[in-house]
Amino acid sequence: QDHRRDDAVEQARAIADYIAGMTDRFAVREHQQLFRVGS
């Protein structure tokens, strides 16, 4: 069970690092594509 928790923590860190590395323009465009803002 600790192994699953460690995997979840590592996954959350990878996601946070990915988002932190985004430029504002890229993040806005990605959000628009994912959630179809303005469609």
Comparing CA positions, the residue from 21, 19, 17 lying closest to residue 31 is 19
What per-residue confidence (pLDDT) applies to 39? Answer: 58
d(CA 2, CA 23): 34
pLDDT tens digit string along 1-39? 778 889 999 999 999 999 999 999 999 999 899 998 665
d(CA 32, CA 39): 9
d(CA 15, CA 1): 21
What per-residue confidence (pLDDT) applies to 36? Answer: 86
What per-residue confidence (pLDDT) applies to 2? Answer: 79
- 20 close to 26: Cβ distance less than 8 angstroms: no
